Structure 1
Amino acid sequence: MSVSDFENFVVVVTGASTGLGRALAVETARRGASDVVINYARSAEEAEVTAGLVRAEGARALLVQGDVSKDEDCRTIAAAAAPLGRIDALFNNAGVTKFAQNHADLDAVSAEDFLHLYGVNVVGAFQMIRAARSLLEAAPQPGAVVNTSSIAGVAGIGSSVPYAASKGAMNTLTLSLARALAPRIRVNAVCPGFIDTPWFGKGMSEERVARLREGSAASTPLKVASTAEDVAAAAAFLASRQSRHVTGETLLVDAGSHLGFAPLGMR
């Protein structure tokens, strides 16, 4: 993919203060985006760091606070791009989880956990697409939506049952809206495995995070632990002009870890 493949793009990234969201914002700026709307829910300080990195790549950075589970906030985020007349690429990256890795412990999660995760991970993505629809349709080429899903949504693994279920729902959302919004909007999803970011280490000691990193690298066919930048490059492809004939796809970016799960042939 050309480093100018996003030339003059207007990009919106939700959940962009750290981790994969930050990497997406910087990657698109590096590839020629003119304007990057950086959404964050809580940490203005971390979002400012993202903005500085985007500006260093030559793009304008617009900071917008908002919780994507709230429809009015989604409309505010999309409205930040309205003066620019369009949105070329929307990355629905904002996400939350509940850590309950023993999926057999059904008492470790509650109905409230399901509702909270679905509110951000699924409803939030839907609301952002709805809020941005007219601006995505105003792009000179079909506007691109890239949803940050997970291998958890394909293989039923991950930090908790509600998280895996929410990402499975996001994959179905991707299919439904790819069909419904064509031909003016493309909708795809990227499904990472382990990403070596602080998000994966929440609630863990440094020692446990190091073991997780080492174990992840050892268990993947490619023998690597993916970074946010690795995943951002793949997600950027799905939003770029290079993928102009791709829609309704879920791209697994997990160093091959999905190869250990037999049911994936049915996805």
Structure 2
Amino acid sequence: MAELRDLSGRTAVVTGSATGLGRSIALKLAERGADVIVNCSRSVSDGEATVSDCQALGSQSRLVQADVSTEEGCRVLAEAAGASGRLDILVNNAGITRHARDHADLNALSKDDFLDTYAVNVVGPFMMMQACRDLLVASHTQTGRAATVLNVSSIAGVTGIGSSVAYAATKGALNTMTLSLARALAPAIRVNAVCPGFIGTRWFKDTMDEEQYKRMEAGVAASVPLNVASGPDDIADTALFFLSDASRHVTGETLLVDAGMHLGYAPLVAR
């Protein structure tokens, strides 16, 4: 298994990787020997800290500030990856939401809320694959190994729960796009998705006080079959499977990583 996960000599781009799950994925890639391009749109100081931690693990890591909801931002990231002549790994992790947990309140979301969320969560991953396609194909041509794309989706896209109707809709669309592009881009590129449930990150912590967060975390753990509240590293470990040769014969998969939340009652929370 160690040989299957040796990522030395590979270049990776992880969007939205200054904090949270993206940061955890970037660090695990660096730990396995990959050179990681860290990305943020605003959190520059956090992004620099992630780069520093990746470099401490031996990675030739650097920060690229770019907004993946724009064609220019995606092009900037692709150009950064192009310095090595190919791109082996692309993780479409960047995502946003508009919090409107009462899904029956149809006035809680505007047209712009939907369009902004789609721009980052669906159009962004598509434009990243569009901008990086030639580099990903070059990886396959040079190594004989399919390049790999991982879309970070959510249980919200499978069950319709989550922070808002708009967010759940975007993740459902991302899951469908994963299937479409896995078929269309094979055999040069593998495309898969992970669908986390609850993840203990700033995604929630920034929207509530510490006591509220602790109560929610305890409630999540009590409501799922595995009786745990997942953290970023728990999901990143699964991501690493899709990004390594351990999954070399896997494409078009959307894997729930939710401690069993989908099996029974789940609170109205999701990444």
TM-score (norm: length of structure 2) = 0.94
Amino acid at match of 1:54: C
Count residues with an aligned counterpart. Answer: 261
Q: Which residue of 1 aligns with 2:59?
A: 59
Separation in 2 of the partners of 1:128 and 1:201? 28
Matches within 5 A, 1:140-219: 140=143, 141-219=145-223
Q: Which residue of 1 aligns with 2:31?
A: 30
Tell me the percent identity. 58
Separation in 1 of the partners of 2:264 and 2:135? 40
CA RMSD of aligned residues (A): 1.3
Amino acid at match of 1:238: F
Amino acid at match of 2:29: T
Answer whether contact 1:37 1:64 (CA < 8 A) is retained: yes
Q: Which residue of 2 aligns with 1:107?
A: 107
Amino acid at match of 1:227: G
Answer whether contact 2:224 2:265 (CA < 8 A) is retained: no
Separation in 2 of the partners of 1:48 and 1:32? 19
Q: Which residue of 2 aligns with 1:98?
A: 98
Answer whether contact 1:2 1:31 (CA < 8 A) is retained: no
Separation in 1 of the partners of 2:119 and 2:164? 16
Answer whether contact 1:153 1:167 (CA < 8 A) is retained: yes
Matches within 5 A, 1:1-12: 1-2=1-2, 4-12=5-13
Q: Which residue of 1 aligns with 2:70?
A: 70
Q: Which residue of 2 aligns with 1:15?
A: 16
TM-score (norm: length of structure 1) = 0.95
Separation in 2 of the partners of 1:200 and 1:187? 28
Q: CA deviation at 1:143?
A: 0.7
Residues 28, 164 of structure 1: CA spacing in aligned structure 2 closer, same or farther, 3 A cutoff? same
Separation in 2 of the partners of 1:230 and 1:10? 23
Matched, 1:220 2:224: yes
Answer whether contact 1:155 1:261 (CA < 8 A) is retained: no
Separation in 2 of the partners of 1:46 and 1:245? 35
Separation in 1 of the partners of 2:265 and 2:8? 39
Q: Which residue of 2 aligns with 1:237?
A: 241
Q: CA deviation at 1:56?
A: 1.2
Matched, 1:130 2:130: yes
Amino acid at match of 1:12: V
Answer whether contact 1:155 1:258 (CA < 8 A) is retained: yes
Q: CA deviation at 1:261?
A: 6.8
Amino acid at match of 2:129: I
Deviations 1:198-244 (A, max 9, x none): 11223211111111111111111111111100101101111111101
Amino acid at match of 1:72: E
Separation in 2 of the partners of 1:15 and 1:119? 14
Name structure 1 gaps, 5 residues minimum: 263-267
Q: CA deviation at 1:85?
A: 1.1
Answer whether contact 1:94 1:121 (CA < 8 A) is retained: yes
Answer whether contact 1:62 1:80 (CA < 8 A) is retained: no
Q: CA deviation at 1:7?
A: 2.0
Give 3-state SS (helix, strand or coil) of 2:36's partner. Answer: strand
Amino acid at match of 1:222: L
Amino acid at match of 1:250: T
Deviations 1:92-126 (A, max 9, x none): 00000011101011111111111000000000000
Q: Which residue of 1 aligns with 2:269?
A: none
Amino acid at match of 2:21: L
Give 3-state SS (helix, strand or coil) of 2:191's partner. Answer: strand
Separation in 1 of the partners of 2:226 and 2:32? 26
